[in-house]
Structure 1
């Protein structure tokens, strides 16, 4: 759908640093994320994130739905595929009327810090929703691969206090209004490939949309998560296609990338009212 988008067309407005002071649990000095030397497949990969930020992509005024989506790129919790699963997704969602916040969460291998970043991002966006003409109760979370793992963790652990409050934003709920998991990974680390134990799904877990394929080595993650949501009577929509693999984003030439955006667009119309 959107292969080879130039960064010049990304309608990014501002960069918001999540932690004005010390970053909780972070020992490295704050600095801008590093771009790795690997630019294969036209993917910009970030690493060494020690100063987490959200990059804001406002919806056009003419079709602003009043809903916001915080997007978590994937990369195995080692890197962030920032254009493939961040900026390109933001451009597409903007066209549908959603304001997007691309999250640069901590990597590499800082899963606990990443959850702190996700919780803080939700609260900050909610606290400043009026700036982007958003409704605070319509802030959702979307992720790809490891970013989908982070989305699932944030959606099921929103009542866990992972850091000490630093301002008024932290008095707000960290529960996303909805969760979107596209080719999720790491959700089946339980015994016999069952649901990862930290994912405590219950009736208060937000509604979710899941998309994965049978030829994805991580495909079981979507199946076990969807099953847990169904068992808890949480509204869930699962699409499981035959082919597509992993890591395709929105890019043309992949059978899965050709179908999931339309399915998600329809789902959002019902989920975000």
Structure 2
């Protein structure tokens, strides 16, 4: 299902400053696409009558990079404006295809958001030629609990099912890089209790907590990751980013951690020097990454 560009521009303009929105000049097409055709998996070979969505924001002159964007909301809601469509509006100004993921909220069904994120990556990769995307330059970005989802996708992935009847199912769900902004990473003592409960339920097993504490899931095949966090974040401790960064360094994974002196959670409401700093450095980081590859 396609969305008129004018309508999406109104949505973005409601959450971004006028200086940030040159969307009409840089967007070629916007489409909202279902991921599951109404039958969405919940894990253990079971489905539900539900849907998850991606909104594809294509720049006029794509540079081949695409990023799946995971908004935050503590796994209890989705901040799709500033941490979704607003981010896509910024990305397309730089020739990057932005893919906003409206993942299902788990309510204790821990597999659900990850299945949606993996499906989103597979969908972009399967449509890479049609969407003018390099299939080896598909990243994932997440904010807060969306950062937990993005870090989960970056540490839990597969090569695709070669026996699948559709091209999407056969595609790999490994992101080529990840960008995590004030993310929840751990579901241990340094994590965020509300995010943990919404994802895992009231009394999860220690094994499940470890499985989704992504600092403990890094392997030599984990993709490069950029992290940023404010020192004064009182909602999600910057220790989340530090733990993952240390685990990445221990495994020799290319990574950068930008620790900001201020801004709190949300970095002063998505504006100002701290917000600008992570955006500028993230662009430079994955630009260098692409050139190196």
Q: TM-score, normalised by structure 1?
A: 0.81
Partners of 1:170 and 1:269 in 2: CA distance: 29
Q: Deviations over 1:58-84 (max 9, x none)?
A: 0222xx211111100011011110011
Question: CA 1:87–1:192 in 2, change beyond 3 Å: closer, same or farther?
Answer: closer
Partners of 1:68 and 1:114 in 2: CA distance: 20
Which of 17, 25, 43 in structure 2 is aligned with 1:3? 17
| Structure 1 unaligned blocks of 5 or more | 31-50
Which of 62, 71, 74 in structure 1 is aligned with 2:72? 74
- Contact residue 77 and residue 111 of structure 1 kept, 8 A: no
Which of 86, 89, 110 in structure 2 is aligned with 1:88? 86
Q: Could you tell me which residue of structure 2 aligns to residue 57 of structure 1?
A: 57
Which of 235, 238, 241 in structure 2 is aligned with 1:222? 241
Which of 222, 238, 247 in structure 1 is aligned with 2:257? 238
Q: Could you tell me which residue of structure 1 aligns to residue 11 of structure 2?
A: none
Q: Could you tell me which residue of structure 1 aligns to residue 223 of structure 2?
A: 206
Instruction: Give, in angstroms, the shift of residue 250 of structure 1.
Output: 7.5
Instruction: Give, in angstroms, the shift of residue 191 of structure 1.
Output: 6.3
Question: CA 1:216–1:161 in 2, change beyond 3 Å: closer, same or farther?
Answer: farther
- Contact residue 160 and residue 172 of structure 2 kept, 8 A: no
SS at match of 1:179: strand
Partners of 1:209 and 1:169 in 2: CA distance: 27
Question: CA 1:192–1:135 in 2, change beyond 3 Å: closer, same or farther?
Answer: closer
Q: Could you tell me which residue of structure 2 aligns to residue 103 of structure 1?
A: 101
Partners of 2:120 and 2:177 in 1: CA distance: 15
Structure with the higher fraction of residues in helix conformation: 2
Q: Could you tell me which residue of structure 2 aligns to residue 265 of structure 1?
A: 283
Instruction: Give, in angstroms, the shift of residue 132 of structure 1.
Output: 1.4
Question: CA 1:116–1:192 in 2, change beyond 3 Å: closer, same or farther?
Answer: closer
Question: CA 1:24–1:235 in 2, change beyond 3 Å: closer, same or farther?
Answer: same
| Structure 2 unaligned blocks of 5 or more | 1-14, 192-208
Q: Could you tell me which residue of structure 2 aligns to residue 124 of structure 1?
A: 123
Q: Could you tell me which residue of structure 2 aligns to residue 152 of structure 1?
A: 151
Instruction: Give, in angstroms, the shift of residue 98 of structure 1.
Output: 0.4
- Contact residue 160 and residue 169 of structure 2 kept, 8 A: no
- Contact residue 180 and residue 210 of structure 1 kept, 8 A: yes
Q: Could you tell me which residue of structure 1 aligns to residue 210 of structure 2?
A: 197
Instruction: Give, in angstroms, the shift of residue 168 of structure 1.
Output: 2.6
SS at match of 1:257: helix
Q: TM-score, normalised by structure 2?
A: 0.76
Q: CA RMSD in A?
A: 2.8
Question: CA 1:86–1:250 in 2, change beyond 3 Å: closer, same or farther?
Answer: farther
Instruction: Give, in angstroms, the shift of residue 242 of structure 1.
Output: 1.7
- Contact residue 52 and residue 105 of structure 1 kept, 8 A: yes
- Contact residue 69 and residue 99 of structure 1 kept, 8 A: yes
Partners of 1:23 and 1:181 in 2: CA distance: 26
Partners of 2:23 and 2:223 in 1: CA distance: 35
Runs of 4+ in 1 over 6 A off after TM superposition: 4-8
Higher RCO (CA < 8 A, seq sep 6+): 1
Partners of 2:136 and 2:189 in 1: CA distance: 35
Partners of 1:157 and 1:55 in 2: CA distance: 23
Instruction: Give, in angstroms, the shift of residue 190 of structure 1.
Output: 3.5
